[in-house]
Structure 1
Amino acid sequence: MFALNQASDLDEPWLQFKNLLVRQLAFCVASPNILAAIPPELVLKHSFQLHANKTWARHFQNYRSRLLYLDQHPQELEMFLQQLKSTRLGLRFEMFIWFWLLDQNYHSYQLLGHSIQKIAGSITLGELDFLLLNTESNKIEHWEVALKYYLAERDFSLACWYGLNRSDTLVRKLNHFSQKQFQFEDALGQQIERRFAVLKGQLYLPVCPRQQVIPTWVNLKRRLGSWGSHLPHQNAHFYRLQRQEWICPASHLSSETAHWWINGLYRQKDKPNFYMFRPAPLLFQNSNHQLYEKSLSL
């Protein structure tokens, strides 16, 4: 079933921690972007960059001692996350990034602002996730952060990667970065000099993909999952992940081995395989299913 070229020795240092919140925080800091590069077919209106894999690896090493402490004493992290009233994973991801950026002793960024609204008169033009001073380069950086799960359908071209809500596609998100979110030249009286998209999560390939090459812009240093509308073999021992575990699974099994299946993300017990189960009707776009898909939006 899982014929993907998935190395079992991918560096996933977030799995060393026991506390679920700390594992998720470690994932948000340490995991590579789901894209290795901006797809060349994307037409950029406002250019932006992606951090290199080694950048996130360095951030994790600098933060590891703090993560080890939080793993034993998670109260500060727990209290910080209590500010979040939404269950949306994308906002939860942003909170973890915010917590890390506030820990200024462990990285080279000075946080200048978070959720900065740009307003012209009575019109809101947009909002910046993070404005930072990089104390190594002495440059002002604008970061937009997103946690995304995209499934490749007909082929692996940029236009064929769909989110759980089918109006959320990879190409639409990248265009939104370029056309909308990175449009601003300044914020809080600071001239923006560099723009970065922090785009993490997971990509999923069909269980039985056609013979085709995975695009070079897909980051193979981030584990790929599989998706399908058929049940795995009964001996595959998959269990269903809780919603928050989509960021990072708990260190223990959070549910029983699945004997019946509903829409969601599953993980294999004895192998690091992820399987997104999507009943066939959910793959088609009509009015009834759009309403159901919207309820699953991140």
Structure 2
Amino acid sequence: MSDYFEPWLQFKNAIVRQLAFAIASPNLLRSTPHELQMQHPFSWHSDQVWKQHYENYLPRLYALDLNPEPLIRFFNQLKSTRLGLRFEYLIWFWLLDKDYHPYQLLAHSLQVIEGKTTLGELDFLIYNQETKHTEHWEVALKYYLAEQNTQLYHWYGLNRQDTLYRKLQHFAQQQFKFTTALQMQIDQRFAVMKGQLFLPLFHTTHNLPVWLNTSRRLGYWGTQIFAQNHFRIARSQWLCLDNEQGQQDAVLWCDGLYYNRDTDTPYMFRQVEYQNPLLWQQFAKQSLHP
């Protein structure tokens, strides 16, 4: 057992576990890296904020675990299998449950249009009834692997065009550029980024960047195949593990996400991580002797 706050694992229904994860899990980052060019500043909710939201929502989660039909009906409108959209819908469902949090949802997927030009879109426009502030939230579910080191510029997504630096820059330069919406002044802007970060195999957790949130379980990635105690999970479970019935032993290894049964540690196996073999050799040497 670990000290990580992972209360979503107690729920029996898969979609309810995912809903609990979307609320209870902390952001991947605890603060904005100083390397970022903050043209339009934004903030991050603290771990305690998400923990309090989860605790306030517990009665609803218990009820949904017994009868998930309202949640299932809500997700019937989602035709895409993209995990990022599924995460957004989970946050949307929770925000609509206005009896369990201080937020009034003003708009979801709000397009900002000037004449015939679409200037952008806001994921969520929210009125915080405690602070009396209008808030703009952008939400994302992300999986990033640290390659040469753990500094901001070296975190890559499974699509190598998707980097942590590029995503944060998009937040700061594009997505949070709006000062008003629905004829209301935007008082605060929040990034909600959850998912999983992966360190290179054999990398220690010492001297990590101060902005990286270590209260969330960190995974590892590499090309090493383990002989036992690992199981592979389907892409649909990347957001949150299902019950153990769906766990299949890792026999034929291919690119994807695996877990160690003994430690509950996520492991992203990649057959090819660098096109440049010299770069890989240098990286492997650094990883073995961090």
Global fold match (TM > 0.5): yes
User: CA offset at residue 284 of structure 1?
Assistant: 3.2
Task: Give 5+ residue unaligned stretches, structure 1.
Answer: 1-6, 286-298
Which one of the candidate residues 180, 196, 199 is aligned to 2:190?
196
Higher-RCO chain (CA-CA 8 Å, sequence separation at least 6): 1
Q: Give the structure 2 partner of residue 293 of structure 1.
A: none
User: CA offset at residue 209 of structure 1?
Assistant: 2.5
Instruction: Say which is worse superposed, 10-19 or 268-277, in terms of deviation.
Output: 268-277
Q: Distance in 2 between matches of 1:204 and 1:126?
A: 31
Does residue 153 in structure 1 map to residue 144 in structure 2?
no
The root-mean-square deviation of aligned C-alpha atoms, in Å, is: 1.4
State the one-letter code of the partner of 2:166: R
Q: Give the structure 2 partner of residue 129 of structure 1.
A: 123
Which one of the candidate residues 173, 177, 184 is aligned to 2:171?
177
Q: Give the structure 1 partner of residue 250 of structure 2.
A: 258
Q: Distance in 2 between matches of 1:11 and 1:210?
A: 21
Which one of the candidate residues 15, 38, 41 is aligned to 1:21?
15
The runs of 4+ residues in structure 1 deviating greater than 2 Å are 208-212, 282-285
Which one of the candidate residues 92, 95, 100 is aligned to 2:89?
95
8 Å contact kept, 1:22–1:70: yes
TM-score, normalization: structure 2?
0.92
8 Å contact kept, 1:127–1:181: yes
Instruction: Say which is worse superposed, 213-222 or 94-103, in terms of deviation.
Output: 213-222
User: CA offset at residue 53 of structure 1?
Assistant: 0.5
Q: Give the structure 1 partner of residue 71 of structure 2.
A: 77
Q: Distance in 2 between matches of 1:126 and 1:91?
A: 17
8 Å contact kept, 1:8–1:272: no
> Deviations 1:169-225 (Å, cap 9, x if unpaired)?
000000000000000011111110000000100100000237962111110110100
Q: Give the structure 1 partner of residue 59 of structure 2.
A: 65
State the one-letter code of the partner of 1:162: Y
Q: Distance in 2 between matches of 1:255 and 1:262?
A: 16
Instruction: Say which is worse superposed, 92-101 or 205-214, in terms of deviation.
Output: 205-214
User: CA offset at residue 268 of structure 1?
Assistant: 1.7
State the one-letter code of the partner of 2:193: L
User: CA offset at residue 270 of structure 1?
Assistant: 3.0
Q: Give the structure 1 partner of residue 275 of structure 2.
A: 284
Q: Distance in 2 between matches of 1:211 and 1:247?
A: 23
DSSP 3-state at the match of 1:112: strand
DSSP 3-state at the match of 1:227: strand
State the one-letter code of the partner of 2:86: R
DSSP 3-state at the match of 2:106: strand
